Amino acid sequence: MIIVKNPKEIELMRRAGKITAAARALAGEMVIAGVTTQKIDKAVREYIVSEGGKPAFLGYNGFPKSVCISVNDEVIHGIPGSRTLRDGDVVSVDVGAEKDGFLGDCAATFIVGQGTQEARRLVEVTRGSFFEGLKFARVGYRISDIARAVQAHAESNGFSVVREYVGHGIGSRMHEDPEVPNYVESPRRGADPRLIAGMTIAIEPMINAGAAAIRVLRDGWTVVTADGKLSAHYENTVLVTNGEPEILTSVEAA
Q: What is the pTM of this model?
A: 0.96
Say which amino acid occupies 150: V
Decide if pLDDT at 8 tops 90. yes
Cβ pair 243, 8 in contact under 8 A: no
Q: In angstroms, rounded to a whole number, what is the distance separating the alpha carbons of residues 71 and 168?
A: 23
Residue 216: pLDDT over 90: yes
Rounded distance between C-alpha atoms, residue 71 and residue 222, angstroms = 10
d(CA 155, CA 134): 17
- Domains of the chain plus CATH, in order, are 7-247 (3.90.230.10)
The three-point CA angle 252-76-146 to 5° equals 60
Query: Residue 7: left (phi > 0), alpha (psi -120 to 50), or beta?
Result: alpha
Residue 85 has pLDDT above 70, yes or no: yes
**Residues in CB range of 51: below 8 A, 6 or more apart:** 19, 22, 97, 99
pLDDT digit string, tens, across residues 107-152: 999 999 999 999 999 999 999 999 999 999 999 999 999 999 999 9
Backbone angles phi, psi at 145, to 5 degrees: -70, -40
Task: Give the three-class secondary structure for 171.
Answer: coil
Tell me the average pLDDT across 60-82: 98
Angle at 186 between CA 185 and CA 188, to 5 degrees: 115
